[in-house]
Structure 1
Amino acid sequence: MIPQQKFEVAYEISILVAGYLRGDLTKEQETKLKEWQQASNDHLNWFNDFCQQEKIDQQLKMYHATNKASVWNKTQDKILAAAKVRTKGRMGLWQRIAVAASILLCLSIGLHFYLTKYTSFFLEQQASRSGITAGGNKAFLTLSDGKKIVLSETKNGVTIDATKLAYSDGTEIQAISASGDTSHYAKVSTPRGGTYEVVLPDGTRVWLNAASGLSFPTKFIGTSRKVELSGEAYFEVAKDKMHPFIVESKGQQVEVLGTHFNINAYQEEVNVKTTLLEGAVKITTSGGAKLLKPGQQSDLINGEISIREVNVENTVAWKNGEFSFKNEELGSIMRKIARWYNVEVVFNNKELSKKTLSGNISRFEQVSKVLRILEMTGDIKFKIQGKTVTVY
């Protein structure tokens, strides 16, 4: 092949490689690139090596560390050098393809667009291979006799009282109703990647977040209505002035008559947060008691309670199918993502967990899109391997 033909081939392949990294190849272009890869083991090996995320990251770090004017001047020089195909000692075929592809990427789409598109490509490919999916309606109902029932993923919630057990649409859970166990305690638990609504015997509605559990009697007896919570839940308590509703969770007791509030009491979190949307609640700990007003959030750490004003919509965004972060530490954000997508999270640099970020996105998006949004809001990167997300 004469030099001019070699350069034309290199130029055409560079266009296809650049388009592949951007994720905007046409079907015809995808076929051409695949045929070129299959034509030779050298082609395939070079392509796989050039498209490695780590190598592109390294090139981009070098770019950021270089004076931008200098980069532009050098880029022009490379274009001219590549065009001089008759010059002795010209670059090899692979080098010319790599240079041309890099130049096309930077010139045709801009560095910022390149960063977001190639990151999106890698994250989506990694997430797809790992089989990571967003959470959904998943829960278990455990009765006092130890019987454990897997609740339907096609239903939104379950209603439990002393006479029957049924899904929120009225469909009876026959196997449970027939057990005759309607006078003791029950527990609804959600796994990582699960959420479920529970209607208690008094009509109180509870939405459980991922990796949470709610224990309660199938019939409230006595002067109060007491339940136990682990994890996170949003409550809409049925009003009953004669029988206060009490939630016990991780060192605190929340007492209400009828109101809407959210409790976050995961064991892996250092604090317990109670957020009030309407009504009034009293929070009691070993250190005393405090009252919450609508729009306030209590923060319990080591037995001490502090109270502050918050945006309650951000706090209960999870119930409405959203991730909502406002100046929140990345460590806290990633714990939420880990629970919802059922993944493990590893920080290469522990200091990154203290970085604060803000953003909003649906909880039902692919994990790759959620991570990409986070990358765009701060100087962080993610890699997905199996069920592990690495932050670096």
Structure 2
Amino acid sequence: MNKKYLTDLYMRYLSNHCEKEDIHELLTYFGEIDEEKLFKLVLNEFELVDEKEEDAINNEEKIKLSKIYNVVKKGINKKNKKDNNRRLYIIRFSVAALFVLLIGGAMLWHLFYQPIQTLPKQLISKSQVNDISPGHFGATLHLSNGQTIMLDSTQNGTLAKQGSGVQIIKNNGQIKYAGASNKLIYNTITTGSGREYKLILSDGTKVWLNSESSLTYPISFTGKTRTVQVSGEAYFEVVHNAKQPFQVKVKNQLIEDIGTSFNVESYANEIVTKTTLVEGSIKVSKDKQSIILKPGQQAETGDQIGLNKNVNIAEEIAWKNGYFIFQQTSLKQIMQQISRWYNVSIEYRGNIQPSLFTGKIPRTMQASKVLEVLEQAGVHFKIEKIPEQGNQGNIIVIP
């Protein structure tokens, strides 16, 4: 089975998007896999360690993996014995099993084996009663004439015409611009909490917007430069044109493309703007200071521009690919991401001990599942839904 396909299939299962055929495929795979392959699957697919570091895993951790393997085999045997009842069984890692927490040097493994259709009541989190759904694809388009278009609910087709012949077209949920105008006209697209969006600019440049973000841009690039303005977080795949450079204004800095894919994070409540280069080259400038980034580097701009040469690109652009990825990330940083994506307020009560988390989890999970993972570190949560508040509710963090 293709490695990437297996991972995607497994993630679909965890987010309850698997068909019966998909579950049978997973069962078949787990029924054939040997212990060594399972060991590598757990390590590599869920990014616990690099392949080159497998030998560094100590015996205690190997024993834990062996136990997982034995439970898998036991589950497969039970499934085979009950084929006449046509009951579907599968090994379900809880989110805590997939999203492994490396806390205080200890690996916390939690493995559950349950029939798909009969999850016991005692395994259902209390917070699921007031559960909160993850964010979704959507945005608001603000035209230059003051008109607003809710992109979540509009149908595919031509949404508007601007200038001397530019059409705004929605296709497969995203918008693009067709035609040209000799007049400089700006539109703005915004994503509130719990929303993200992708659009294609008139030059073919692709832009992904994370939650609580905005992009202001011309409907047609007519000047010597192609300049847009961003707040929040955005990922760009720029169509390079040396005769008409692409520029991104963000707070008090300027990013200039030299043939590029990059991520910029600059929320209003954050002091530092982070610009991470994925491919190509960009120039980041502030006042009289400027640096040119190479792939895998990050500019951190506050009062001055700092250079981070050792960046985990997968973590920086995880949101674009549908995941949360944490590498020794603090609880408050994690809760800030959860607040934006789930459109909730965060409240801290009591003496919360500082903790660092490492792991990966799909953004398609219900809030309760994400919180169950974090609770393995000794922190607890309570979900409160307050409809009149204007968001999906509150998440209260308690010791």
Rounded to whole Å, the distance in 2 between the matches of 1:209 and 1:155 is 22
The gaps in structure 2 that reach 5 residues or longer are 1-109, 113-120, 386-392
Please say if residues 243 and 257 of structure 1, whose CA atoms lie closer than 8 Å, have aligned partners that are also in contact: no
How far did residue 158 of structure 1 move?
Answer: 9.9
% identity of equivalent residues: 37
How far did residue 303 of structure 1 move?
Answer: 3.1
CA deviations on 1:127-153 (whole Å, 9 max, x unpaired) are 2xxxx2111111011011111111135
The gaps in structure 1 that reach 5 residues or longer are 1-111
Question: Are 1:121 and 2:129 an aligned pair?
Answer: no
How far did residue 182 of structure 1 move?
Answer: 7.9
Per the alignment, in what secondary structure is the counterpart of residue 165 of structure 1? strand
Quick check: which one's strand share is greater?
2
Question: Are 1:166 and 2:169 an aligned pair?
Answer: yes
C-alpha distance 324-155 of structure 1, shift in aligned 2 (>3 A): farther
Moved over 3 A (4+): 117-120, 152-162, 168-173, 180-183, 349-352
State the partner residue of 2:318: 317
C-alpha distance 139-158 of structure 1, shift in aligned 2 (>3 A): farther
Rounded to whole Å, the distance in 2 between the matches of 1:312 and 1:158 is 36
Equivalent residue pairs, number:
269
Q: With the length of structure 2 as denominator, give the TM-score of the two structures.
A: 0.62
Give the partner amino acid of 1:196: Y
Per the alignment, in what secondary structure is the counterpart of residue 334 of structure 2? helix
Rounded to whole Å, the distance in 2 between the matches of 1:332 and 1:222 is 39
Larger Rg: 1
Per the alignment, in what secondary structure is the counterpart of residue 383 of structure 1? strand
Rounded to whole Å, the distance in 2 between the matches of 1:367 and 1:190 is 20
Rounded to whole Å, the distance in 2 between the matches of 1:336 and 1:136 is 14
Please say if residues 141 and 148 of structure 1, whose CA atoms lie closer than 8 Å, have aligned partners that are also in contact: yes
Give the partner amino acid of 2:125: F
CA deviations on 1:254-286 (whole Å, 9 max, x unpaired) are 100321000011111221111111000111013
C-alpha distance 339-119 of structure 1, shift in aligned 2 (>3 A): farther
C-alpha distance 373-240 of structure 1, shift in aligned 2 (>3 A): same
How far did residue 306 of structure 1 move?
Answer: 3.1
Per the alignment, in what secondary structure is the counterpart of residue 280 of structure 1? strand
Rounded to whole Å, the distance in 1 between the matches of 2:329 and 2:242 is 37
State the partner residue of 1:380: 379
State the partner residue of 2:38: none
Per the alignment, in what secondary structure is the counterpart of residue 340 of structure 2? helix
Give the partner amino acid of 1:233: A
State the partner residue of 1:248: 249
Please say if residues 275 and 315 of structure 1, whose CA atoms lie closer than 8 Å, have aligned partners that are also in contact: yes
- The 5 Å alignment of 1:292-307 reads 292-307=293-308
RMSD, aligned α-carbons: 3.1
CA deviations on 1:147-173 (whole Å, 9 max, x unpaired) are 111113588999999621011349999
CA deviations on 1:85-142 (whole Å, 9 max, x unpaired) are xxxxxxxxxxxxxxxxxxxxxxxxxxx889xx96852121232xxxx21111110110
Rounded to whole Å, the distance in 2 between the matches of 1:283 and 1:311 is 19
C-alpha distance 230-388 of structure 1, shift in aligned 2 (>3 A): same
Q: With the length of structure 1 as denominator, give the TM-score of the two structures.
A: 0.63
Give the partner amino acid of 1:122: K
